[in-house]
Amino acid sequence: MFETAPFRKETEIIGRVTIELAASALVPDFDLWAQLYDVAPDGTAWNLSTPGTAVQRASYRAGGPERKPVAPGETVRLRMDRLVTANRFLPGHRLRVVITPAFAPVFSVNPQTGGLEFDSDSVRAGEIRLGHSAARSSWIVLPVVTPVD
């Protein structure tokens, strides 16, 4: 989970959000799902995302239809650019970005074995690491709109 500092003034985001994550794992395939929230000063959080619009399976990172497994420890880039949202953050509110490794049961279960979920009779636990350094950066682009007076 990542959060911004509190907004000092009203800030509007309207449009397409792009998230790109540098990720590595010790399993040949994994999913990452991103959700955005508006967090009030009292901790109340409102979901700003439509489920399933920001989920990416690592083996389909190039778009498919061919799958490309991830080598153990290899850093791959997962881009999610189908999320569209609109929100006005009030002063004192924060943007929260939550990244999770599963979106089941809405999105199919990834067994993380390298096999497809309908061909696999087992699942594998795996450690997934997100990059957040200059060499392995992850980022989000928000469509900030300037209010019209």
Look up residue 47 and give its two tokens: 């979901």
Q: How far apart are the C-alpha atoms of 16 and 18, rounded to whole Å?
A: 7
pLDDT in tens, 54-78: 889 999 999 888 999 999 989 999 9
- Please give the CATH number for the structural domain made up of 2-145: 2.60.120.260
From first to last of the 149 residues of the chain, give the pLDDT tens digit: 899 999 999 999 999 999 999 999 999 999 999 999 999 999 999 999 887 788 899 999 998 889 999 999 899 999 999 999 999 999 999 999 999 987 777 777 887 878 787 777 788 888 899 998 888 899 999 999 987 76
pLDDT in tens, 10-28: 999 999 999 999 999 999 9
- Report the pLDDT value the prediction gives residue 116, as an integer from 0 to 100: 80
Residues 6+ apart with CB under 8 A from 120: 111, 113
Select from 94, 95, 92, 96 the least CA-distant residue to 9. 92
Q: In the chain, what are the domain boundaries?
A: 2-145
